[in-house]
Amino acid sequence: MMPSKAEDEEAPNTLSTPEPELVESEPTLVERAKAMVRELNRKYPRTGLPADKAFIDSLYED
């Protein structure tokens, strides 16, 4: 016996909807990426000398 059209339309909606407690408890991928970047910036602060014209020109010399 084939399922009715109404059952076909309802099934994907119920399967694709995550449970509310899981959504609230887990950080999103964006939040996790931001936290990782903040941690890396704390661990490895930006240092170095500014690149002046002489340095940039030296990169293109043969």
pLDDT tens string 20-52: 665 568 889 999 999 999 999 999 988 888 889
> Following DSSP, what letter does each residue of the chain receive, concatenated?
-PPPHHHHHHHHHHHHSPPHHHHHHSPPHHHHHHHHHHHHHHHS--------HHHHHHHT--
pTM: 0.40
- Tokens representing 31 are 């939040």
Task: Reply yes or no on whether the pLDDT at 15 is more than 80.
Answer: no
| Cα-to-chain-centroid distance, residue 8 | 33
Task: Reply yes or no on whether the pLDDT at 59 is more than 80.
Answer: yes
Task: Reply yes or no on whether the pLDDT at 53 is more than 90.
Answer: yes
Task: Reply yes or no on whether the pLDDT at 13 is more than 60.
Answer: no
Phi, psi of 18 (to 5 degrees): -75, 160
